Amino acid sequence: MDMTRIRDRMVEHHVTRRGIRDPSVIEAMRTVPREKFVPPGSEEFAYEDAPLSIGEGQTISQPFIVALMLEKANLDAGDTVLEVGTGSGYASALMSRVARHVYSIERHERLALEAKERFEKLGYRNIDVRVGDGSKGWAEAAPFDAIVVSASAPEVPTALKEQLGLGGRLIIPVGRGEGQRLKRLTRTGDAAFEEEDLGGVLFVPLIGEDAWTATHPMYTATAPSLPGTVASEPSSPHDGQGAGMRKIDKLPALPEGVLDHSEFQQRFWAVQRFSWIVFTLLLVICLLGLLGRGGPFSRQTLLLPEGSVDFPVISRWNAPEDMTVTFTPSSEDRVFTIDPAFLQSFSVQGIDPPQKATFARDGRIGYVFPADPAGPTQIVFRLQTQLPGPRRALIGMGGETRTQSTFIFP
């Protein structure tokens, strides 16, 4: 199944509309197939803005938080990057499409091996993965131009700061509970760092020698089956949400709309499945022409003082359509007009019989047809549907205009 259009929609709705502007990050998210990084059977949910379970009590972060952290890391084509918390490998895959080389460290061996296998199948050759303590970094590969950490530490681990190159950026959640803050540290000297607060967040703890220990109550208490991290309202213009790499004992009250533990996740999936069933049934009915806005068919006839327009109100993407314009008898030339929104919904492939002239005026395009006082004149516009979704366009005859709606199924 080709998910390119679904992926593009995810980028538009969950990434760019929420303030992500870095073109390299946006292009990477359009390129990397997120559905390859979720467990079998979960592909239909891969492009929802919510974390998904990947086993070992871990999750794949939702798209927005990944995009936010990568944008704040200011990745460049020549960069060497370290990711702490490989998980499914999705974030490392994104970074590999931007940076020169990515080193990724994961505490769980099974996840690390599965991520490595995904990279090999997708041909991402500039990623190295190893199993280890993420709080200690990867000294052999240092210095790094950027380090991205997907779990919260009590303070920034010394090893990670030391492995950051001059001018390098470190993105890491710091603190505990609801007091966590997303930090960006930029190394400005041998022992000098510029620190920026990117807003309030809520991540699960980073487990390691230089972070939370295995005896810390945030780690040792009973964890839900689908743990994740979520972001509270940040003080920056963005609001982040994500999933971390270690277990958490008790999830606090969730912000409205956040889905990141088993009960919410199960309800979310149930609603999604039901929605898809309803959508599929409606699609079948519409394709059979049973839900036209003007009656039992998928077309509508608009009546105007100078004639009528038979217009498609339900169609499918990239399909041929006809629009029939019928002019009443007249001793003067007749004019039919459309606006730019019409040409976003349909491309005009041909006109039969052809127009006498074409003009542009007041933001609209006009087609002039010769007079015929003897009887009605019928003009057929051969169209091709373009953008899917609900569309509205302005069409007119002479001085009268009407707004017409069309729904184009993907």
Residues catalogued as catalytic: 61
DSSP 170-202: EEEEESSGGG-EEEEEEE-SSS-EEEEEEEE-B
Query: 89 — alpha (psi -120 to 50), left (phi > 0) or beta?
Result: left
Tokens of 330: 């007249």
Q: Which two tokens stand for residue 71?
A: 């944008």
Q: What one-letter code names the amino acid at 32?
A: V
Looking at 94-174, which runs of residues are DSSP E strands? 101-106, 127-131, 144-149, 164-174
Burial class for 394, CB neighbours closer than 10 Å (0-12, 13-18, 19+): middle
- Read out DSSP for 344-379? HHEEEEEEESPPSEEEEETTEEEEEE--BTTS-EEE
Helical ranges in 97-190 per DSSP H: 109-122, 158-162
CA distance 253 to 392: 41
Is residue 247 classed exposed, middle or buried when 0-12, 13-18 and 19+ CB atoms within 10 A define those classes?
buried
List, in sequence order, every beta strand (DSSP E) within 26-100: 52-55, 58-60, 80-84
For the record, the structure tokens of 153 come out as 């530490």
Q: CA angle at residue 42 from 40 to 46, to 5 degrees?
A: 120
Q: Which helix (H) or strand (E) holds 90?
A: helix 90-96
Q: Which two tokens stand for residue 321?
A: 């359509």
- Element containing residue 382 per DSSP (H, E): strand 377-385
